[in-house]
Structure 1
Amino acid sequence: MATKLVEERSPNGALKDRPTAELLKRLSDQIRDLAQQEIRLARTELTEKGKRAGRGAGLLGGAAVTALYGVGVLLAAIVLALALVMPGWAAALIVAAVLLAAAAIMSMMGRAQTRKAVPPKPERAVESMKKDVQVVREKAHHH
């Protein structure tokens, strides 16, 4: 078959004397094959990136847990430092009160931010689309 293809080619490398339908079928087959190869390549690339993202997420999770332990030790050090100038129970109570106050403030701020996001609809985009429809209607009535 390879020899036949060589015989069918003109000196400049183009196929000659082949019906257009056959050439179009060959082109279609080649485009299909190329698309399938591109899809396989994309699938392979996404699989590799997914594995890398999974490893990264695992490392980030490990870092978060380690940081949490570090914060716990730091808080214990603060309690121990305060215990040098007051009873230990009072030092622990003060540190706990500060932490709970910070948590309450963050909770209120988070709740306010969440309320601004609900309902989750693109209000500006909807408004913009309404204006676009209005402009199109106005132009349609004028013509």
Structure 2
Amino acid sequence: MSRADEPVNVGVTVSPNGSRSLGQLFASATADLSELVHEEIALAKAELRQDVKRAGIGGGAVGAAGILALFSLPVLSFAAAYGIHNLGLGLAWSFLIVGGAYLVLAGLLGLMARSKFKKIKKPERSIASAKETAAVLQGVKPHPRSAPSGGTETTVAVKV
């Protein structure tokens, strides 16, 4: 017998004829529903935390690429001005090489940001779990029970 098939004692008190009071049923259902909602929220938070981290890294790369591209503009401007003035391989080419290096680095950071943004996806496990829970709750119908006939109460093991 696997662990999932083993009966679990959840501490439900039942009268000898196997029925529970309406208050006990309501309390049990409320506790179970509360636990389910908390677990669903925890799952959604965990999935979103991963995607927020990816978005943060991608956003940082985009920001760095923008700053490097911005820094390259004055350098390229100086390089172009000195290049037109000089028309020889001198100081202007130095500025051009530095400006080109900034643009190459900005391009690489932009590609890294793009790959990080592509990895962001919707929280599939949370959505599937919420749909499953909704389907289960829609199928639940109240079952009328007879009033407990007093007597001693016993604890039963419920298969979960």
TM range (shorter): 0.3 to 0.5
- From the two aligned structures, give the one with the greater helix fraction: 1
| Structure of higher RCO (CA pairs closer than 8 Å, 6+ residues apart) | 2
TM-score normalised over the length of structure 2: 0.38
